[in-house]
Structure 1
């Protein structure tokens, strides 16, 4: 039995979507969660202005904070920091540092959602992307910069500027699909939806069919990359191109 440990930012948001995808990939796959506490001065994320949210997610992704929170009831085989913005807002070097600290702390392979996007794009051979971002435009620009450092070009993006991950957990199929359609671009080789609170597992195949290109959601790339780090990238039909090649 393979056990994936996920560090997660806000309890009761998108964990059920991770578990739904894990069941589709392998009924024996176990996913455990550990939660990284927000800073004591944060209060309600919904109440913060864009600059305040940016600082809050940077603080949440501090390597020492991740290391202290990485406590699982059973030792995982691999661990991932399952938060998009909290890994890419520290830049590529910051994301690599997060993974390094977690690997030293747990003595297992360590990844993050942002690093998973880079692995998935390399696997698909996609170098030009469109971003269906739920973030403020400044945070979307941070993700585009993160991708650019790895040689990935963002040809188009939209920014929904959602108030919080807890709000995003309530988005329905229609709203997610509309965001994806608005972000699509003819020159993009893949569409990225970077947010682990969104419930995207039921939409993976339909989104790709509608847009005619790979659609990489945060939940999907996180689990795919964690299994790839163990040498067993999953192959499954009905979950999009990432899981079929």
Structure 2
């Protein structure tokens, strides 16, 4: 069983479940939710600096550890939130995983760490970034990737108001964002947001862009299984799952 810590209830869980079914109909995914800070209010109402601080607060290791309560102890756990795992930098992401692993006694990962593992698996060093965030938060992810030796050759920032809003994005908006981010020097396009519903688009996006497209949902599940020593190989989910 994969245990996913998730930031906002009823956003992208169904996309995780859809991806899991494609990987293995018997694969079980369970969710636990990390509460936002008591003084946050509506995320949509925060200005960019306040949002940035809110996601940093949400990713505090002690907050994650307190929320990591599953009905059955999972075989692996992942903090399934992009921004809340990269805004603390590479050391911060590793600290989150370490605290979760100690809390549950199982391998622990995060979406941001999953990106690094997936890029290493593909042998990719140059990426384009299709970011839904404000440009300041996008810059944090660029810095996070750079710490791991990944060069961002081009990025776009959609500055979406919240993950709740992003959960309503359809095929057209996601495709437009990926197309705008792509660059001839990029070996892959990254779409780092676990509220987006990207599983039905993976193969079409890769066909259109002619390169791997790594979405947050896909890399999170792939990396969780990779941590257990069983990276899945499945057709129809893009290059990451084909080798």
TM-score by length of 1: 0.99
Match of 2:37 in 1: 39
SS of aligned partner of 2:32: strand
Match of 1:26 in 2: 24
1:131 paired to 2:129 = yes
SS of aligned partner of 2:138: helix
Match of 1:189 in 2: 187
Aligned length: 243
Aligned-pair CA distance for 1:106? 0.2
1:166 paired to 2:180 = no
Aligned-pair CA distance for 1:147? 0.1
Gaps of 5+ in 2: none
1:181-228 CA distances to partner (integer Å, 9 max, x unpaired)?
A: 000000000000000000000000000000000000000000000000
Match of 1:152 in 2: 150
Aligned-pair CA distance for 1:178? 0.2
2:112 to 111, 114, 130: 114
Gaps of 5+ in 1: none
1:28-81 CA distances to partner (integer Å, 9 max, x unpaired)?
A: 100000000000000000000000000000000000000000000011000000
Superposition misfits of 4+ residues, deviation over 4 angstroms: none
Match of 1:217 in 2: 215
Match of 1:208 in 2: 206
Match of 2:233 in 1: 235
Aligned-pair CA distance for 1:119? 0.2
Aligned-pair CA distance for 1:242? 0.1
TM-score by length of 2: 1.00
1:50 to 44, 48, 59: 48
